[in-house]
Every structure is written in C-alpha cells, then in structure tokens.
Chains A and B, each alone.
Chain A
Amino acid sequence: MVVKVYGSIRAACPQRVLACLLEFGVDFELINVDLDSNEHKQPEFLQKQPFGQVPVIEDGDFRLFESRAIMRYYARKYADRNPKLYGTTLDEKALVDQWLEVEAHHFNDMVYTIVLQKLVIPKMGGKPDLALVQNCEKKLEKVFDIYEQQLSKNRYLAGDCFTLADLSHLPGIRYLINEAELGHMVKEKKNVNSWWCDISNRVAWKKVMQLME
C-alpha cells in the first residue's frame, strides 16, 4: 500500500516530506490539493488537517500532519534503510534534532516571511511590507554566517553525514534562490555554497524537482 501525500508539489512542506520519503525508498502517491482555489481551507480537508495546511499523509488508516513530524516517523520506521539520516547514537540524534530546530525556528521563520511578503501577498493583490522583508533578509544573513561557521567544522550541519537537518532546508533554499532571487546569500559563502551544491544534487531531491516540472 502506498503512502498518500496530500499537498501541492509547489509547496515547501510537501516537498520536504516527498524528499524524505524518496530518501527512504518509500512509495507514495501525491494527491494534489489546489491551494489557489483554497481547497485546503474547505471542510473536507479540515477533517484531515484542522489547521488547513499541507501536507497530510495517510498510510493505510494512519494519518499524520506537520512535515517534520512526518519525517521523524518515517526516519524511525525505516531506520534500517538509511540509519545515518536521523543518527544512530543518542548524541547523533540529539544533534540532528538540534539543527532541525534551528531550521524550523531561525531559518524557516525568515524564509516564510520573505516568501509571504515577496511572492504570496503581491500575487493576491496586496502590498508587501518591504521593511519587514529587509529585516528578515538581515537576520537570514546572520543565520547563514552561523551555518558558514558550522560547515567549516563539519561536512553537514549535524556532523559528517547528510541528515534530516540538511534535508529540511532544501525547499526553503530553493525558494530563496529561485522565486525570491536571494541566491547571493548562499553563493557568497564558500562552505554554505558547497553544502547547497552537495545536498541539492542528491537523487531524492532531483526527483522532487522533476515532479515539479
């Protein structure tokens, strides 16, 4: 039985989940949720996800939402297929969780605000808050400074192996480089740029990008 993933291939959080499922070799069916027509806010969808957001997964009778919770579930379930993705020792797992939290709070908050102001609001006919965007960009530069330091000591964020913590950044950095035109933030930093080139060339992420086309 394949895992059903409800979401849009264009949205960051479903992309995160799909990349994870592909890394673990989990078969899935992507069921499109039309964000433009507000399908995710309709009563039928709210039954699946009470906050009206994508993605939701259905694995037989088992349903989950929140992309990082979904990632952790499959990382635990299929640990034997790819043990390094969520660490094998207590300390390794803790470092993956630490950098996942950093992604969720320090990185994602900034990217989310930039995407909302620069892309979503103008698309809906609204006026973006440019001062807020500038503020977020400054904060994001500082976050990348910290990543640059970390990646000078380790090949990946949580250590020597690619983990969920690196994976979690893929959709956000893709947005920054493409739609938000802020690729310089990544390219101007030697270690961050090498890291991005490495993680964005992984087979699983390339498959997600193919699905987008």
Chain B
Amino acid sequence: MAIKVYGSMISTATLRVLLCLAEKDLDYELIFIDLATGEHKSPHMLSNNPFGQIPAFEDGDIKLIESRAIMQYIVRKYADKGTELMSSDPKKMAEQSVWMEVESQKFEPATTKLIWELCMKRFLFGKKGDDAVVAELLPALGRLLDVYEARLSESKYLGGDGFSLADLYHVPVIKFLTEAETKMKKLFHARPHVSAWVTDVLSRPACLKVFCKHAYCKGG
C-alpha cells in the first residue's frame, strides 16, 4: 500500500493524520509503534523521525514527519478526493491557516500536560493522573476556550463556514479529554458554541470510522 503511517492509536498526533486520511477516503496501512516499550526511540524509528516521535508517514517515495505538515501534504495532493479540508480561495485559506496556527501555538501547549495526566499515564502505565496538576491547568484552558466561544459565535467552524483542517487539528485532543474526565467534558460543554462545535466535529463519519476501525485502547 502506498500510504503508510507509523504510529499508535493512543497518540493524538497519529490520530490527527488518520482522521485526515479518513476525511479524504484514502486507504492506508497503520504500522503500530509501541510507545510503552519506547519503540519510537528505537534506532529504526529514529531513522524515520530523528526527534523520536510518532507519526512518521510515507506516500510512495515521499517520507514526512510532523502531523500538521503531513496533513497539509495530504490535503494538497488529494485535493479532489473526499472532504475539502482547505479552501482554494487565498483569503479563506489564510483564515483557516490562522486557526490552524492557533491550535498549534495555543491549544496544543494548553492541553499537552492535561493529555499526559488524564490519558497517557493511564494508557501507558495504568496510572492515575495528578489531580493537582490538572486543577492548575484548567483555568488557562478555560480562558482559551472563551476566545474560541467568541470566534464560534461568529463563525460556524473555526476557519470559516466549512469544516477544515483548523477544526480537524483539534479533534483527537478534544475526544481524549472529554472522554477522560467529567470536569473536562464540563469545561468544553459549558460554553454553548464550543459545545455545539465539539458535538458536531466528534460525530463526523470519519471520526466514527477511525475510532471504531482500529483496536482503540481506552484504558481502565
């Protein structure tokens, strides 16, 4: 198979790429990399990604790392397939680009430690997260979601009228966090426009397809 993704279903970055492929109706082979045993830092994987992270991606001769770069490549190459995930109009594309950067530069830093405490500790080691760390991080995420609430009260999706990469970038983290813990679910659903957007993006057919297709470890 031409498209290969080296990654894991417990990795939000891997899931981002898989969701993009699903939105584009593209077939791929997922080659499982076991984070629990440190396989992502093995010499073999370091030759795919010198930063020792997943996913790594191949499409025929091209090899790429960094989920957001991979997704932009998929969207350009397969522009005529599946969902349109970036507009061809330069100004609309730029607007989508802004909110893609917001996810990358603001949402990700605000949620990385929360994902670690509430999800990864459980998935990898069967351990419970540190409630104090989580409590300390919630206010900043709340303030960020206030900006999202204002944006989504003016625009159906983050990047504009249509679903785009700007929304898709957020999906794996939102899915993991809202399923992990009631306080997180409340945080997202306390804001009406954010709540409607979360419900919308998580119920997309591509989302349901990816999360049902593979053995999805929810942890205990």
Contacts and interface: CB of A to CB of B under 8 A. Distances in A.
Given A72-B97, A102-B66, A51 B102 contact: yes
A101 B69 contact: yes
A27 to B, nearest CB: 19
Nearest to B65: A98
Nearest to B74: A94
A62 to B, nearest CB: 6
A102 B98 CA distance: 18
B219 interface: no
B68 interface: yes
Contacts of A90: 73, 76-77
The main secondary structure of chain A at its interface with chain B is helix
Contacts of B94: 62, 64, 69, 72-73
Interface residues of A, number: 28
A104 interface: yes
Nearest to B95: A64
A105 B72 CA distance: 16
Interface in B172-219: none
A100 B91 contact: no
B147 interface: yes
Nearest to B146: A50
Contacts of B62: 91, 94
A65 B93 CA distance: 13
Return the 5 tightest CB-CB contacts between A and B, nearest first. A66-B101, A101-B66, A97-B69, A69-B97, A94-B73
Interface of B: 50-51, 62, 64-66, 68-70, 72-73, 76-77, 90-91, 93-95, 97-98, 100-102, 104-106, 109, 147, 150-151
